[in-house]
Amino acid sequence: MTLRVQVVSAEKEVWSGEAGIVVARTTDGEIGVLTGHQPTLAVLLEGEVRVGTGGIGSGGDALTARIDGGFLSVENDTVLVVAERVTIADTGAGTSGGRSSGRPAA
């Protein structure tokens, strides 16, 4: 099973795709989201959100999104990250190769 993940800025969807894990810094500490995670709404701090697109322990691609704060919502294996500004690091996730089905949004 995989997570469906969307990373959204104030202007547009920045990235969406499938992932094995999502890790982010919240006001209560770092959170890791795997499939089957309980429904959650968390306030995100400025920093990085890491999306493991290759699956757990696979050594696959990872996407790193730099955000200026925002929130993270988890429900039914769907993760939504919303921030005012989002910058995606060029790690190769969502491009060619690997098992990633993620894509930068147009």
Structural domain contains residue 79:
yes
Number of domains in the chain: 1
Q: 25 or 90, which is more confident?
A: 25
CATH number (domain holding residue 87): 2.60.15.10
Structural domain contains residue 58:
yes
> What pLDDT does residue 101 have?
40
Structural domain contains residue 105:
no
pLDDT value at 3 more than 50: yes
> What pLDDT does residue 58 have?
53
Model pLDDT for residues 62-106, shown as the tens digit of each residue: 899 999 999 999 999 999 999 999 999 865 544 333 333 455 555
Structural domain contains residue 25:
yes
Structure tokens at 74: 């988890």
Structural domain contains residue 65:
yes
Structural domain contains residue 75:
yes
pLDDT category, 56, cuts 50, 70, 90?
low
Residues 6+ apart with CB under 8 A from 89: 63, 64, 65, 66
Domain that holds residue 33: 3-93
pLDDT value at 40 more than 70: yes
**pTM score of the predicted model:** 0.81
Structure tokens at 99: 């098992």
Structure tokens at 54: 């290759």
Structural domain contains residue 101:
no
